[in-house]
Amino acid sequence: MTSSTQLAVIGGGPGGYAAAFLGADLGMQVTLIDEAPNPGGVCLYRGCMPSKALLHVAKVVTEAREASACGVTFAEPTIDIDRLRFWKQQVVSRLTGGLRQLSTQRGVTYLQGRAELLGPSSVRVTILDGTTTDLEFAHGVLATGSRPAIPSALRLESDRVWDSTRALEVPEVPESLLVVGGGYIGLELGSVYAALGSKVTVVEMTPGLLPGVDRDLVTVVARRMESTCEAILLETTVTNLAEEGTGVRVTLEGPSISESIRQFDRVLVAVGRIPNSEIPGLERTRVRLSEFRFVEVDRQRRTAEPSIFAIGDLVGEPMLAHKASHEARAAVESIAGRKTVFEPAAIPAVVFTDPEVAWCGLTETEARAQGRTIQVARFPWAASGRALTLDRPQGVTKLIIDPDTERLLGTGLAGSGAGELIAEAVVAIEMGATVSDLRLCIHPHPTMSETVMESAEVFFGQSTHVYRPKRG
Ligand SMILES: Cc1cc2nc3c(=O)[nH]c(=O)nc-3n(C[C@H](O)[C@H](O)[C@H](O)COP(=O)(O)OP(=O)(O)OC[C@H]3O[C@@H](n4cnc5c(N)ncnc54)[C@H](O)[C@@H]3O)c2cc1C
């Protein structure tokens, strides 16, 4: 059976469904294709949302344990794992079901199946029961996302070795868990299991957790992880995994490793993600891949095949849901004939550990690598009244400023709730705000948002709650 559509979107994650919905809002006839029963992609089914649901549980458990410092003592929390799983699953079902409803309301045709490109303007969808539907399209958007990367040394066909998808299912709470990879996924999931009661060891190949992130921000979360984890092994590589007894025998290599063979009940491999660019039939188009197998796109997200656009994890870093959905906007507006480009000045990134780490725009690390002159204004959270009332004085807010124009170039935050605070900095950077603008905007008291304003005051040597005269 062959039918036609104006816009065919392959992949129903935050890139794909945002593209499909906007296409419909702009009056296009749209078909959205994904293998899952409902739209949602990795983000909703096995990424952002289930991980944040579990991190919420981890936070509740941790806060209950730590409330005694403020004079409230709870009994040690008991974890009902079936109920926890059910609750997390309900969150996912509500969200993905809601997206299906939104598709229907917008008149988007949702096809549950696997897509294969037949050429630059047609796709074959193999539905679950094996039947196929061929679809002609005027424009296509590829949004097939990414999957966990598993290096060959860590490949072991065993239910004791998990990737992030398996870890999010919470098959059990192991007595001991080795997390391979100190990036955001490893730290988020490691924190969850540590809070649930596992003895968590994190192994990271580079000299620090969260490679690439400014060290002063990482220090805040690293200190906390050091106290909640069994061990954090830096500059350490896992070279082999083998089943042994009821667990996994792990071979470790690194300058500070005294015991190179260790035993863990379960191992979580979280060493990165690779794009799903092996889309069947892609070779029948002119779509090109980069050296790292991302689909190459221009500023509108058009591929080398003029009728086909690509967005999200498939086209490169940062592999984040909000980047995907904003690329969707650029692609679909361009398809609709509008003048548009995807050129953000600030894409926020948040590590949802407790405390959180968040940044946007230029980082200090990037500025130094580029040899760019910047000025950094820092406000320690220990000087924030709100942080003390929350019993969370561990944190920092810092602004990266162009000393000539006094424009805000970037912002870094570490501390409880940093992920919400970063949005103010994104708006400021995108609006071309100067550090004076931040200083002069009245922030509500007592809130953590005041730390953004006070960092700006630090720049001028006039922070009310920090005495630090302006240098030079
Ligand atoms: C554990 C974890 C936590 C995360 N937390 C966050 C977070 O807090 N914040 C954040 O911004 N990002 C987070 N991410 C990243 C985020 O999930 C991704 O950046 C986002 O999902 C990418 O969206 P996408 O639209 O590019 O593709 P995806 O969400 O990957 O969706 C792609 C979809 O395409 C489908 N597909 C692939 N090939 C075909 C085909 N041939 N036919 C039909 N369908 C196909 C796939 O099955 C999938 O459903 C997290 C990821 C993980 C793994």
The pLDDT value given to residue 2: 78
Q: Look at residues 227, 161, 164, 172 and name the one whose alpha carbon lies nearest to residue 196.
A: 172
Contact 137, 109 (CB under 8 A): no
HSE of 1, CA atoms in CB hemisphere, 13 A:
7
Backbone angles phi, psi at 351, to 5 degrees: -105, 115
Residue 392: closest CA among 417, 419, 375: 417
**36 Cβ closer than 6 Å to some ligand 1 atom:** yes
pLDDT at position 467 is 83
pLDDT mean across residues, the chain: 96
Does position 471 have pLDDT exceeding 70, yes or no?
A: no
pLDDT band at 357 (very low <50, low <70, confident <90, very high): very high
Indicate whether residue 42 lines ligand 1 (CB < 6 A): yes
The predicted model gives 378-407 an average pLDDT of: 97
Of the CA atoms within 13 Å of residue 189, those in its CB half-sphere come to 31
Long-range CB pairs of 443-449, under 8 A, 24+ apart, other chains included: 445/385, 445/386, 446/384, 446/385, 446/386, 446/389, 447/386, 448/381, 448/384, 448/386, 448/387, 448/415, 448/417, 448/421, 449/421, 449/424
Atom of ligand 1 at shortest range from CA of 148: 53
Look up 445 and say whether it is catalytic.
yes
Ligand 1 probe mutation, 31, 43, 285, 351, most atoms within 8 A of CB? 43
pLDDT beyond 90 at 162: yes
Judge if the beta carbon of residue 380 lies within 6 A of ligand 1. no
Ligand 1 center–CA 312 separation, angstroms? 8
Enter the pTM of the model: 0.96
- Residues 44 and 92 sit within 8 Å (Cβ to Cβ): yes
The answer to whether residue 472 scores a pLDDT higher than 60 is no
> What digits encode the pLDDT tens for the residues 260-294?
999 999 999 999 999 999 999 999 999 999 999 99
What is the CA(310)–ligand 1 centre distance, in A?
14
Asked whether the beta carbons of 213 and 357 are under 8 A apart, the reply is yes
Tokens for 188? 């988020």
The per-residue pLDDT for range 140-160, each reduced to its tens digit, is 999 999 999 999 989 999 999
| Average pLDDT over every residue of 333-359 | 97
pLDDT tens figures, 165-201: 999 999 999 999 999 999 999 999 999 999 999 999 9
Residue pair 137/6 in contact by the 8 Å Cβ criterion: yes
For residue 325, which phi and psi values (nearest 5 degrees)?
-70, -30
pLDDT tens-digit readout, 2-40: 799 999 999 999 999 999 999 999 999 999 999 999 999
CB 356 within 8 A of CB 419: yes
Per-residue pLDDT tens over the stretch 361-372: 999 999 999 999
Most informative mutation of 42, 110, 146 for ligand 1 (most atoms within 8 A of CB): 42
The string of pLDDT tens digits covering residues 108-147 is: 999 999 999 999 999 999 998 899 999 999 999 999 999 9
pLDDT, tens digit (0-9, with 9 covering 90-100), for 396-451: 999 999 999 999 999 999 999 999 999 999 999 999 999 999 999 999 999 999 99
